[in-house]
Amino acid sequence: MRSTKAPVKRIKSEIPDIVIGRLPVYLRTLNLLASEGREVTSSQELGEHLGISSAQIRKDLSHFGEFGKQGTGYNIPYLCKQLQKILNVDKVWSVVLVGAGSLGNAIANYNGFESRGFRISAIFDEDPQKIGNEVGTIVVESINGLAERIKELDAHIAVIAVPVQAAQRVADYLIESGIASILCYAPITLSVPANVRVEYIDPVIHFQHMTYYLG
């Protein structure tokens, strides 16, 4: 059911980013099947769940090795473990959050991060009225101490949940402090060095995408 061949190690730049973007979706679906007690699946079944062709799924996975055999499919626990290794989420990453407002509180209180490889380890704000308050089990710290805490936590990932006017300034400070990956909730395109990875979450963009089809 599982291939005896080890996953292929490739130079990251050789693999299209759109392929990498689909891997977490495959992993999420596999975890869902595993939670239902399933042991085996196929590219056909995964494709039906996701609205992606089975050929595309096989092609995506082939960038990293052979994980199944024709006629027997994929062993779900094994493929989950391999995708976790490929995505570097076979460990828990320390994440810092900047912004302790309503959005920051919602992010910090979401309990689905750690089981998928991420932990909000520190929260920062510049509002004196928020500093010292607890968000869940984390005490909000002054942004002035951000650089030291990032080093202490060995954090490489940050979440920006601040108003748009402050987002670029916060991003600059995070990058100066050693952050290499940013998840930005502010509706802005950040200017960052080429070696810094930024992902954006802007619900309005998705709403506007949907409303095009409602007209």
Give the CATH number, domain containing residue 82: 1.10.10.10
Q: What is the chain's pLDDT, residue by residue, as a tens digit (215 residues)? A: 444 454 555 555 689 999 999 999 999 999 999 999 999 999 999 999 999 999 999 999 999 988 877 767 899 999 999 999 999 999 999 999 999 999 999 999 999 999 999 999 999 999 999 999 999 899 999 999 999 999 999 999 999 999 999 999 999 999 999 999 999 999 999 999 999 999 999 999 999 999 999 98
pLDDT at 8: 52
Please tell me whether residues 108 and 141 are part of one structural domain.
Answer: yes
85 vs 92: CA distance, rounded Å: 12
Q: Where are the alpha helices (DSSP H) in 36-94?
A: 43-50, 54-62, 76-86
Establish if 54 belongs to a structural domain: yes
CATH number at residue 168: 3.40.50.720
160 vs 49: CA distance, rounded Å: 32
Establish if 50 belongs to a structural domain: yes
> Pick from 31, 66, 86: which residue ends a domain?
86
Establish if 2 belongs to a structural domain: no
Range of the domain at 66: 12-86
- CA-to-CA dists, residue 153 to 107, 146, 156, 160, 175, angstroms: 19, 10, 9, 17, 15
pLDDT at 136: 87
Please tell me whether residues 97 and 160 are part of one structural domain.
Answer: yes
184 vs 202: CA distance, rounded Å: 8
160 vs 183: CA distance, rounded Å: 6
Domain total of the chain: 2
> Pick from 58, 86, 114: which residue ends a domain?
86
pLDDT at 66: 86
Establish if 1 belongs to a structural domain: no
The Cα diameter of the chain in Å comes to 62
